[in-house]
C-alpha cells in the first residue's frame, strides 16, 4: 500500500481514509476489508484530488417496519375532475 499517498482527513472529529482512483484500484481488497470493519473511505479524483464518492459499510435494514407512522400527519385531496377514486389509485 502507498501509505505516503493515502491521506487521513479529520472530519467531524473522526478520521477517514482517502484514496485516489489509482490507489483504490491497486488496494481494493484491503479497502473493502477496512469498510467491512466499519471504516468510511473517501474516493478522490484527478490531479486536484477532488472528493467524488464515499464507500461506507452496508447497514442491514431492520426486519421490523412499523406501519401507520404517518397516520394523521398527512392528507390526500383529489381534484373534482380526477378520473379514478383513491381506492383505485392505491389499490385498496
> What's the pLDDT tens digit per position in 9-40?
544 455 789 999 999 999 999 999 999 999 99
Asked whether residue 12 is domain-assigned, the answer is yes
What count of residues does the chain have? 92
Asked whether residue 14 is domain-assigned, the answer is yes
> What are the φ and ψ backbone dihedral angles of 34, each rounded to 5 degrees?
-65, -40
Are 3 and 27 a contacting pair, CB within 8 Å? no
Asked whether residue 69 is domain-assigned, the answer is no
Are 35 and 57 a contacting pair, CB within 8 Å? yes
Asked whether residue 67 is domain-assigned, the answer is no
Asked whether residue 50 is domain-assigned, the answer is yes
The number of domains in the chain is: 1
At 39, which CATH number? 3.40.1620
pTM for this one?
0.55
Asked whether residue 43 is domain-assigned, the answer is yes
pLDDT tens per residue, range 50-85:
999 999 999 888 777 777 888 888 887 778 887 887
Range of the domain at 49: 7-55
Asked whether residue 88 is domain-assigned, the answer is no
What pLDDT shows up at residue 8?
53
Amino acid at each position: 500500500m502507498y501509505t505516503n499517498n493515502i491521506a487521513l482527513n479529520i472530519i467531524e472529529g473522526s478520521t477517514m481514509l482517502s484514496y485516489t482512483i489509482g490507489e483504490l484500484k491497486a488496494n481494493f481488497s484491503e479497502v473493502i476489508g477496512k469498510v467491512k470493519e466499519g471504516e468510511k473511505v473517501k474516493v478522490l479524483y484527478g490531479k486536484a484530488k477532488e472528493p467524488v464518492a464515499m464507500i461506507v459499510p452496508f447497514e442491514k435494514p431492520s426486519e421490523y417496519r412499523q406501519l401507520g407512522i404517518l397516520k394523521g400527519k398527512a392528507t390526500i385531496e383529489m381534484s373534482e375532475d380526477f378520473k379514478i377514486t383513491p381506492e383505485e389509485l392505491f389499490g385498496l
